[in-house]
Amino acid sequence: MAGITSPGTVGPAATPSGATAPEDPAFRVFIDSLSYLPPDEVELVRAAYAFSEAAHRGQTRLSGEPYITHPLAVAGALAEWHMDAQAVIAALLHDVMEDTAVGKAEIAERFGKPVAELVDGLSKLDKIEFQSYQEAQAENFRKMLMAMARDLRVVLIKLADRLHNLQTMSAVRADKRRRIAHETLEIYAPIANRLGLNKLFRQLQDLSFEHIHPMRARVLARAVRAARGNRRELLTRILDGIQGKMQEVAIQAQVFGREKSLYSIYRKMLDKHLSFSQVLDIYGFRVVVRDVPTCYLALGALHALYKPVPGKFKDYIAIPKANGYQSLHTTLIGPYGTPVEVQIRTESMHHLAQEGVASHWLYKDNEDSSADLQLKTHKWLQSLLELQSTAVDSSEFFEHVKVDLFPDEVYVFTPKGKIMALPRGATAVDFAYAVHTDIGNRCVAARINYDLMPLRTELANGDQVEIITAAHANPNPAWLSYVKTGRARSKIRHFLKTMQHDESASLGETMLNQELLALGMAPSEVPIASWEQLVRDSGNRSMKEIHTDIGLGRRLAAVVARRLLATDDALQPEHGHAASLVIRGTEGMAIQLAPCCQPIPGDAIIGSIRKGQGLVVHTHDCPAIRSARSSDPQKWIDVEWEPEAGKLFDVRIRITAKNARGVLGRIATGISDAGSNIENVSMDEKNPGLYTVLHFTVQVSDRVHLAEVLRVLRRIPEVVRLARERG
């Protein structure tokens, strides 16, 4: 299989076999298809074929065919798109680095560096050890997309390779066929769609469907063939009607019917819970006219011929899809009440709709449209590079890109009238990050169609969106639960990780300084040479990284302090125990107040260092940590509150009160009079009798403030029991 090719679809088998000779009919057809290239470049392609054939000699595909038939078929697909000689040569050689002893340097020497780069971009990373198939897939995908961002021809070769593998998988194990087909539906078909390769997109979908659900595909194909015969009269009548109307209004147009792909019919049946007989729009019609004004004239004529279905008109000419697709779509009520979908477009739009970015090579008379698509594709590829720079690993990058590959879009407007395309379900936060990273990081609210709306509001077609920012605002981790775009998700995670690392470095430095003082050494007196030696030995790049590791619980402060002072780990601090760590509770993500016991200033507290999470603070008597404290005492450190914490803290209280009119209002007033905010309130509904149990989360500054709140509540006659909740 191909260089980032379908995994194993057709990996070479090590059985000797006669290779395809240059006199082979398939080779002659291939060479004839290169008539668009200059003769000297055709000779270079011949040389590449001979080189590939020699490299793969003795290898066969699982079907028993000589392996060279696969690269030849892939190169043939590129010749159909009229790709340049470098791309065709790279297609012929795309598996030699992966499956033979040929290296990148040899390819560069024989066929030039650009060809070697293309082949390298397509080669799988077989020589690297991965934890799992998913991790290997993610890394291969990342490498391919990075190569594709540098040179779009990489992905065109890859897609042609995947198509041929799907067409020739009959000899592959059923489970492997399904895995490759699922991967194609999830990744490669959406990429083809994103690049506007509509014909290829449909082929990949239908072939994958046949491999995943062979029986369903056969049954559905039979039903479509039967329907084709049953509905022939109706379709002929509609086709004649449209052609007649075009002639009547003197519009020159090509009119032809088109059948929905098997997979799109299957998806419609599945998504809308329909039987095959209920899917009425299996057939659609396409009207291809001379220019854009004629598209709208044809639309008016069709609406005069058959009544349009309200809400089913889409103008992708005025607002093209992100992949450059342009057409007018309308659904009409045809004879016998049958819904008829019609697409109206120009010749150049039709080329672009079928071949997408490949039309740049295929139709040289289509320069304006293809240049616009090239620009859109370039912007998308640049966004991939940006995602790559902020993703921590290949799996995260893979996740971000998959989110952006889904084709359904909404079109919204900026306050200045600029149109922006976002995935369906995108929120105001996605819009903010699409405008600029700083706008996203600082957004606090949004005006949608001039109304103030929450940031989590989903955007609809035609919305005008204005983002309100604040200088000191930061991304909220909760945004990750509802953003839809890979860009927004990536930027939020990057900011939160950076902020957590900075806060963890500060916490780690405080903890290390405390340990050094306990060992009788002022932090400023530690020799620079000791720090340099520790950084070298630890594999970290700087002091800050060591501090971050301590703050995140990856290293123990006591061990690092003793390493710095070159003392024995068994040595005890001079003063018996290290001083308690002083916290304010406002440090951010590096220090977390445990939700189980909700410590507040005045509580006796203890901290636990959790790997990757930093310091988690509990009350001394928290029931959730009793067993953990005794089983692993080394992970616990004494913590104290700073005298002036200067923050409000959440605390839960449980109130048992008589069922009486107005009691909830009196309790809320009492809490407010004590200078506290109510964050949340709920009630037990199990035994709605004489008494009701209410659960409040209130905000207090410390234990003294909490005592004042409880004192005020006890004065309310209906309150019969009151307690702080823990655990």
Tell whether 403 is covered by a domain.
no
Number of domains in the chain: 5
Tell whether 253 is covered by a domain.
yes
Find the CATH number of the domain harbouring 129: 1.10.3210.10
Tokens found for residue 357: 């970015």
Distance CA 545, CA 550 (A): 9
Please give the average per-residue pLDDT across 316-337, as a whole number: 83
Q: Which pLDDT score, from 0 to 100, does residue 385 have?
A: 61
**Which of 53, 95, 99, 355 is labelled catalytic?**
99
3-class state of residue 722 by DSSP: strand
Q: Do 177 and 146 lie in a common domain? A: yes
Q: Do 654 and 583 lie in a common domain? A: no
Task: Read off the pLDDT of residues 616-659 as tens digits, 9 standing for 90 and up.
Answer: 888 888 888 877 776 666 667 778 887 765 678 889 999 998 88
Residue carrying structure tokens 């109307």? 245
Please give the average per-residue pLDDT across 587-596, as a whole number: 71
Task: Read off the pLDDT of residues 24-41 as tens digits, 9 standing for 90 and up.
Answer: 788 888 888 888 888 888
Q: Do 631 and 603 lie in a common domain? A: yes
**147-151, 188-192, 497-501: which is most confident:** 188-192
Q: Do 208 and 249 lie in a common domain? A: no
Domain boundary among 362, 397, 417: 362
**Which of 98, 120, 404, 549 is labelled catalytic?**
98
What pTM value is reported for the model? 0.58
Residue type, 400: H
Q: Do 290 and 413 lie in a common domain? A: no
Please give the average per-residue pLDDT across 493-518, as a whole number: 77
Tell whether 600 is covered by a domain.
yes
Find the CATH number of the domain harbouring 353: 3.30.460.10
Q: Do 432 and 529 lie in a common domain? A: no
**Enclosing domain of residue 431:** 409-484
Task: Read off the pLDDT of residues 91-147 as tens digits, 9 standing for 90 and up.
Answer: 998 888 887 778 888 888 888 888 888 888 777 544 444 456 666 666 666 666 666
Percent with pLDDT over 90 in the chain = 12
Q: Do 677 and 699 lie in a common domain? A: yes
Distance CA 426, CA 494 (A): 20
Task: Read off the pLDDT of residues 142-163 as tens digits, 9 standing for 90 and up.
Answer: 666 666 667 778 888 888 999 9
Q: Do 132 and 190 lie in a common domain? A: yes
Distance CA 227, CA 231 (A): 6
Distance CA 557, CA 203 (A): 59
Q: Do 467 and 520 lie in a common domain? A: no
Q: Which pLDDT score, from 0 to 100, does residue 369 have?
A: 52
Please give the average per-residue pLDDT across 520-529, as a whole number: 81
Please give the average per-residue pLDDT across 403-412, as a whole number: 65
Please give the average per-residue pLDDT across 343-354, as a whole number: 84
> Is 98 tagged catalytic?
yes
Residue 429 backbone dihedrals phi, psi, to 5 degrees: -65, -40
Find the CATH number of the domain harbouring 459: 3.10.20.30
Q: Do 466 and 592 lie in a common domain? A: no
Task: Read off the pLDDT of residues 262-294 as tens digits, 9 standing for 90 and up.
Answer: 888 888 888 888 888 777 667 788 999 999 999
**Sequential DSSP letters for 333-370:** E-GGG-EEEEEEEEHHHHHHHHHGGGHHHH-GGGHHHH
Q: Which pLDDT score, from 0 to 100, does residue 188 have?
A: 85
Tell whether 30 is covered by a domain.
yes
Q: Do 516 and 563 lie in a common domain? A: yes
Tell whether 392 is covered by a domain.
no
284 bridge partner residues = 258, 341
* Residue 396 binned pLDDT confidence (cut-offs 50, 70, 90): low
Q: Do 443 and 552 lie in a common domain? A: no
Tell whether 664 is covered by a domain.
yes
Tell whether 385 is covered by a domain.
no
Helix, strand, coil fractions of the chain, as percent rounded to 5: 50, 15, 30
Tell whether 19 is covered by a domain.
no
* Residue 574 binned pLDDT confidence (cut-offs 50, 70, 90): very low
Distance CA 21, CA 636 (A): 74
